[in-house]
Amino acid sequence: MSDDEWSEVILSDEELVERGKTGDDSALGILVNRHHGAVYRVALSILSDESAAQDVAQDAFIKGFQAMVGFRGEASFRTWILTIAANEARGVIRRIGRRKETAIDLAAPVQSEDKGPDETAVIASEAARARRMMEQLPEKQRLSVVFRIDEGLSFKEVGEIIGSSEGAARVNYFHGIRRLRELME
């Protein structure tokens, strides 16, 4: 295993940030590897535009790394970079005025041994419908659902990113889920 591969496995985000502050580019590369998917999805969940979400993901890392000297670890690096991405995406919304609806590449449902191809296709169709229905949720409810389920963020982290308390993030999540169930019926 090379030094970089070893670092990728064993170093925490906080250790990588400290290395990044001293100009260690490989540490920054590992942070990108770990978090670019979540950063992209956070941007996409706000923008609904794949190309714009990629631009925002790129800008978020540039801005995050440039401001890293001010990062003192009160929040996790993940929350920090996702918050920057969300703010960048909101900035885009403010500038261009509205979200653009586009077809988005979705993850394929995992085909398990107990589900045949037909059932897997039905699940894929229902999953795509669920994602479309989520567009009808108020933004904080939708983002709470996306961040909690897709990224596994705690309600505290969700709250930090959407600008709410932990309790409000929890309420937004459960209201969002309940509303989504109604929409899916």
Partner 1 sequence: MNRTTCEWTRELIPDHAAGRLADDEIALADLHFENCDECRDELDLAYLVFSSRAVEPEDLADKIKAVVHSPTVNNRRRWWGLTAAAVASLAIGFNVILDRSGLPDVPLVESGFELESENLWLTDDGLIAGAPMLEGLSDEALAQLLDELMVGTSGGAA
Q: Is 106 in the site for partner 1 (CB under 8 A)?
A: yes
Q: How far is the CB of 10 from partner 1 (least distance, A)?
A: 20
Q: How far is the CB of 84 from partner 1 (least distance, A)?
A: 6
On whether the CB atoms of residues 144 and 169 are closer than 8 A, the answer is: yes
Task: For the segment 19-48, give every residue that binds partner 1 (CB under 8 A).
Answer: 21, 23, 25, 28-29, 32-33, 36-37, 40-41, 44-45
Instruction: Report the distance separating Cα 112 and Cα 137, nearest Å.
Output: 30
Nearest to 123 by CA among 45, 180, 184, 37: 184
Give backbone dihedrals phi and psi of 108, rounded to 5 degrees, phi first. Answer: -80, 135
Task: For the segment 108-147, give every residue that binds partner 1 (CB under 8 A).
Answer: 108-110, 123-124, 126-128, 130-131, 134, 145-146
Q: Is 55 in the site for partner 1 (CB under 8 A)?
A: yes
Task: For the segment 57-86, give every residue that binds partner 1 (CB under 8 A).
Answer: 57-63, 65-70, 72, 74-75, 79-80, 83-84
Task: For the segment 1-20, give every residue that binds partner 1 (CB under 8 A).
Answer: none
**Would you tell me how many other CB atoms lie within 10 Å of the CB of residue 134?**
19
Nearer to partner 1, 16 or 84 (CB): 84
What is the SS3 assignment for 111-134?
CCCCCCHHHHHHHHHHHHHHHHHH
